[in-house]
């Protein structure tokens, strides 16, 4: 028969395996020295906090999908209160802030998501968008390029890998760098060939380059 301490440790492992994004610091918690020092009550607190964080994170995602962004932010904030290293909650809240036009807050939360999950391609892509909105062009380009390198490892969905390429293309169009933008859209369309918006922007680049060549 398992002791209560052993039962709680097993339950905590199951919680973390159920949703790996729940706590990127899981290796730290599952290390033998920590569990050796943990009391039953401390392990209970850890299990409860992580489960609460997961619950609030999912509630935030649901509200965000429904367009209830302020409510989503409240839920994501609650998730962070229970687990301050919850990269998914920072990322979700950053996306909500961005959609509300609160670009500096979005930038800060994307940065926190990256801090606790350095391989989070979506957070780099999102921070790039926030930097574009804040007119931090160099920082935006660095973030998009970082996302380009990370996405193949971060997700198996090709359409996601297209996002930073398209975002780079849009930024280069704004800067009237049409050759660079054309290259960006061509690279993105490899991953998402049916994206009509990107195709249209690519055609604009071709038109601009053709006009420039005639000059």
Residue listed under structure tokens 């398209």: 166
Say what the pLDDT of residue 159 is.
84
Say what the pLDDT of residue 50 is.
80
Give whole-number Cα distances, 156 to 117, 159, 161, 168, in Å: 18, 9, 9, 21
Averaged pLDDT score across all residues of the chain: 84
Instruction: Return d(Cα 4, Cα 58) in angstroms, integer.
Output: 28
Say what the pLDDT of residue 93 is.
98
Instruction: Return d(Cα 132, Cα 150) in angstroms, integer.
Output: 20
Q: Nearest-CA neighbor of 117 among 29, 211, 26? A: 26
- Encoded tokens for 138: 């160099």
End-to-end alpha-carbon separation of the chain, Å? 84
Say what the pLDDT of residue 51 is.
81
Number of H helices and E strands in the chain, helices first, is: 12, 0
Say what the pLDDT of residue 45 is.
61
Banded model confidence at residue 53, pLDDT cuts 50, 70, 90: confident
Banded model confidence at residue 157, pLDDT cuts 50, 70, 90: confident
Say what the pLDDT of residue 143 is.
98
Q: Which residue has the higher pLDDT, 21 or 120?
A: 120
Does the structure show a pLDDT above 70 at 14?
A: no
Does the structure show a pLDDT above 90 at 19?
A: no
Instruction: Return d(Cα 80, Cα 54) in angstroms, integer.
Output: 10
Instruction: Return d(Cα 42, Cα 149) in angstroms, integer.
Output: 39
Contact status, residue 195 vs residue 166, Cβ threshold 8 Å: yes
pLDDT exceeding 70 applies to what percent of the chain?
75
Instruction: Return d(Cα 3, Cα 9) in angstroms, integer.
Output: 10
Choice among 22-31, 126-135, 149-158 with the minimum mean pLDDT: 22-31
DSSP secondary structure letter of residue 21? G
**Angle (CA) 71 76 81, round 5°:** 125
DSSP secondary structure letter of residue 82? H
Instruction: Return d(Cα 72, Cα 57) in angstroms, integer.
Output: 9
Say what the pLDDT of residue 111 is.
98
Does the structure show a pLDDT above 50 at 32?
A: no
Dihedral of the alpha carbons of 72, 197, 185, 114, in degrees to the nearest 10: 0
All structural domains of the chain, each given as residue ranges with its CATH number in brackets, are 14-118 (1.25.40.10), 120-215 (1.25.40.10)
Say what the pLDDT of residue 56 is.
93
Q: What is the pTM of this model?
A: 0.78
């Amino acid at each position: 028969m398992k002791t209560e301490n052993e039962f709680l440790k097993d339950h905590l492992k199951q919680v973390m395996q159920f949703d790996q994004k729940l706590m990127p610091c899981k290796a730290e918690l599952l290390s033998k020295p920590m569990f050796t020092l943990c009391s039953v009550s401390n392990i209970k607190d850890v299990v409860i906090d992580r489960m609460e964080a997961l619950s609030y994170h999912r509630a935030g995602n649901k509200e965000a999908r429904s367009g209830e962004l302020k409510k989503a932010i409240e839920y994501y904030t609650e998730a962070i209160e229970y687990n301050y290293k919850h990269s998914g909650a920072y990322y979700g809240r950053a996306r909500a802030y961005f959609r509300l036009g609160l670009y500096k807050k979005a930038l800060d939360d994307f940065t926190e998501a990256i801090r606790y999950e350095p391989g989070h391609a979506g957070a780099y892509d999102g921070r790039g968008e926030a930097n574009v909105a804040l007119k931090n062009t160099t920082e935006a380009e660095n973030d998009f390029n970082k996302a380009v390198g990370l996405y193949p490892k971060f997700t198996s969905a090709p359409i996601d890998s297209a996002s930073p390429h398209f975002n780079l293309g849009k930024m280069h169009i704004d800067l009237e760098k049409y050759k660079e933008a054309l290259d960006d859209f061509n690279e993105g369309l490899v991953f998402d060939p049916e994206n009509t918006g990107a195709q249209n922007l690519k055609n604009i680049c071709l038109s601009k380059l053709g006009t420039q060549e005639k000059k």
